[in-house]
Amino acid sequence: MDTDTITAISTPLGEGAIAIVRLSGEEAIPITNKIFRGKNLSTVPSHTMHYGKLVDPTTDAIVEEVMVTVMKGPKTFTREDVVEINCHGGLVSVNRVLELVLAHNARLAEPGEFTKRAFLNGRIDLSQAEAVMDLIRAKTDRAMNVALKQMDGRLSKLIQSLRQKLLETLAHVEVNIDYPEYDDVEEMTHEIMREKATEVMEEIEQLLITAKQGKILREGIGTAIIGRPNVGKSSLLNALAQENKAIVTDVPGTTRDVIEEYVNVRGIPLRLVDTAGIRETEDIVEKIGVERSRQVLKEADLILLVLNYGEQLTVEDKNLFEAAKDMDYIVIINKTDLEKKINLEQVKEWAGDHPIVMTSLLEEKGVDELEQSIATTFFEGELDAADLTYVSNVRHIQLLKQAKQALQDAMTGLESGVPIDVVQIDVTRTWEILGEIIGDTVHESLIDQLFSQFCLGK
């Protein structure tokens, strides 16, 4: 493993009260000591903070006034010596500190390298490392709670438990094969394998049941708001976001482009997209917006199809129902404060089993009912992030599916009378696949690729 001392800015770029430059590695304390004027950092107790000034040794010029935190390994995030330099949060200030540290033999960290070192040094496993980025990117409290539980090792412990069951089974079978003291050893061996494989399969299936919900909590529901111009699409986005993100006017075609916003609906993150009204138009700019809207529609997980209570249905409305027919969608009949002109029976016929919600966004009515309908569509109305182990990472989901398939192959082999040593191959493969989730059997190239997706200072 690389033993260089690495450094990076660990706080967001921009102006703020405090910025942090972090170092990790064998030389983290000596490097900082060379440029720090205050206490001798090589003699201070671990996990203490010290006031002083950073000085450029070549010119003796003061660079910054700082507070320096010293944390000695292995009781650190990376299990290496770690120093955090707290300086003023201006762009010039933090960059001057970073440049000074780099000038004294620290190396700029690669994206995710601090977390990568934590993984390689055995501080956390791979699933916990991935949860660090999930925690940073969490859009709701529930998504954050799921990431915290994964970072705390909840998924890791379950995967390790499944792998241990498979390992004990394989060992038991090997003993029975190598020491066939009884006539019924072959029958016993098959029965043990079948029982344990079924047990592990059921637990994997339970994890996969939560996968759709976990993926939603991690990535959000891609939600497109569609409808004819001036039915209240932008008002709906503003109502769900609880602030004015989109321009609202009585003029049809005001929204010319796609507006995107993350909103929190009952703990579910919605990646909400307000589209340009889909209609035939000769306006070149609006036409481009309409085409983008059609593309967004194809990629969405959920459609909010908005109609106008105060207008009759049109061919364009019917076309929107046709475009959304194979997708999850909720019909929103807006502007119920106006005189009724819409044909509700026709709407019910077109919508079929899909939910219909009545709203008057002008009077702030119906938003709670809409939020409940969204929660019911994806979580049957309830979301329990406290008790379940949610699988939210796409890589984990794919590996669990592969593990399930390998176990199914083993079960099929057992039912078909395939020799036990051949069945063992599939069970061993399951054990290896599960190991990839926590990083026990993962390839170095995959590790590099995973951590490259992290932000620079993490």
Q: Are residues 201 and 227 in the same domain?
A: no
State whether 305 and 160 are in the same domain: no
Locate 88 and state its tokens.
């003023």
Quick one: pLDDT band at residue 270, thresholds 50, 70, 90? confident
- Residue 275 shares a structural domain with residue 375: yes
Tokens of 162: 């499944």
Query: How many domains does one find in the chain?
Result: 3
If you average pLDDT over residues 353-370, what whole number do you get? 91
Residue 452 domain flag: no
Confidence of residue 447 (pLDDT cuts 50, 70, 90): low
Interval 287-301: pLDDT, tens: 444 555 566 677 788
CATH of the domain at 243: 3.40.50.300
Q: For position 281, what pLDDT does the model report?
A: 47
**Which backbone phi and psi does 415 adopt, to 5 degrees?**
-65, -30
Domain assignment present for residue 195? The answer is yes
Supply the pLDDT for residue 341: 93
418-436 pLDDT, tens digit each: 888 788 889 989 999 999 9
Task: Based on the fold, state whether residues 298 and 198 are members of the same structural domain.
Answer: no
Query: Distance (Å, rounded) from C-alpha 216 to C-alpha 407?
Result: 27
Kindly state whether residues 371 and 399 are assigned to the same domain. Answer: no
Query: Which pLDDT belongs to residue 247?
Result: 35
Summarize pLDDT for 309-325 with one digit per residue, the tens: 999 999 888 888 988 88
Determine the average pLDDT of the residues in 82-88: 96
The amino acid present at 416, given as its one-letter code, is: S
Q: Which of 333, 353, 379 marks a domain boundary?
A: 379
In a domain, 131, yes or no: no
- Are 396 and 346 found together in one domain? no
Prediction pTM value: 0.63
User: Is residue 115 over pLDDT 70?
Assistant: yes
Q: Are residues 143 and 282 in the same domain?
A: no
* pLDDT at residue 422, rounded to an integer: 84
> In this structure, what DSSP letter does residue 443 have?
-
Last residue of a domain, one of 358, 379, 400: 379
Residues 180-221: tens digit of each pLDDT: 555 444 555 778 788 888 999 999 998 888 777 777 777 778
How high is the mean pLDDT of the chain? 81
Band the pLDDT of 68: cuts 50, 70, 90.
Answer: very high
Does the residue 455 lie in any domain?
A: no
Residues 82 and 57 in one domain: yes
In one-letter notation, the amino acid at residue 149 is: K
47: left (phi over 0), alpha (psi -120 to 50) or beta: left
Render pLDDT for 5-59 as a digit per residue (tens, 0 to 9).
999 999 987 888 999 999 999 999 999 999 999 999 999 999 999 999 999 999 9
Biggest distance spanned by C-alpha atoms of the chain:
87
- Same-domain pairing of 170 and 51: no
| Domain contains 126 | no
pLDDT above 90: residue 405: yes
- Is a pLDDT exceeding 60 seen at residue 227? yes
Whether residue 134 is predicted with pLDDT greater than 60 in this model: the reply is: yes
Instruction: Verify that 369 and 235 share a domain, yes or no.
Output: yes
Q: Does residue 449 lie within any of the structural domains? A: no
* pLDDT at res. 106: 94
Q: What CATH number is associated with residue 100?
A: 3.30.1360.120
Task: Say whether both 175 and 104 belong to one domain.
Answer: no
Q: Cα separation of 37 and 56, whole Å? A: 10
Domain shared by 148 and 15, yes or no: no
Whether residue 103 is contained in a domain is answered as: yes
pLDDT top residue among 363 and 213: 363
112 pLDDT tier (thresholds 50, 70, 90): confident
318 domain-assigned:
yes
How far lies 381's CA from each of 220, 354, 375, 387, in Å? 16, 15, 5, 16
Residue 251 pLDDT > 70: no
Residue at 123: amino acid letter:
R
Identify the pLDDT of residue 176: 64
pLDDT at 35: 95
Taking the C-alpha atoms of residue 167 and residue 193, their distance in angstroms, rounded to an integer, is: 11
**What pLDDT does residue 446 have?**
54
Among residues 85, 88, 83, the alpha carbon closest in space to that of 18 is found at 88
For 337-352, what is each residue's pLDDT tens digit? 999 999 999 999 999 9
E-state strands within 44-124: 48-56, 61-71, 82-89, 107-108
Token match 């955090």: residue? 84
pLDDT of residue 389: 66
CB 215 within 8 A of CB 239: no
Q: How many residues in total does the chain contain? A: 458
Q: How confident is the model at residue 403 (pLDDT cuts 50, 70, 90)?
A: very high
Domain interval for residue 278: 220-379
Is the pLDDT at 387 greater than 80? The verdict is no
User: 57 — phi, psi (to 5°)?
Assistant: -60, -25
Among 331, 353, 379, the domain boundary falls at 379
CATH of the domain at 157: 1.20.120.430
pLDDT digits (tens, 9 = 90+) for 143-179: 777 777 777 888 888 899 999 888 888 877 776 666 5
Q: Does the structure show a pLDDT above 80 at 327?
A: yes
Q: Is pLDDT above 50 for 252?
A: no
pLDDT of 181: 56
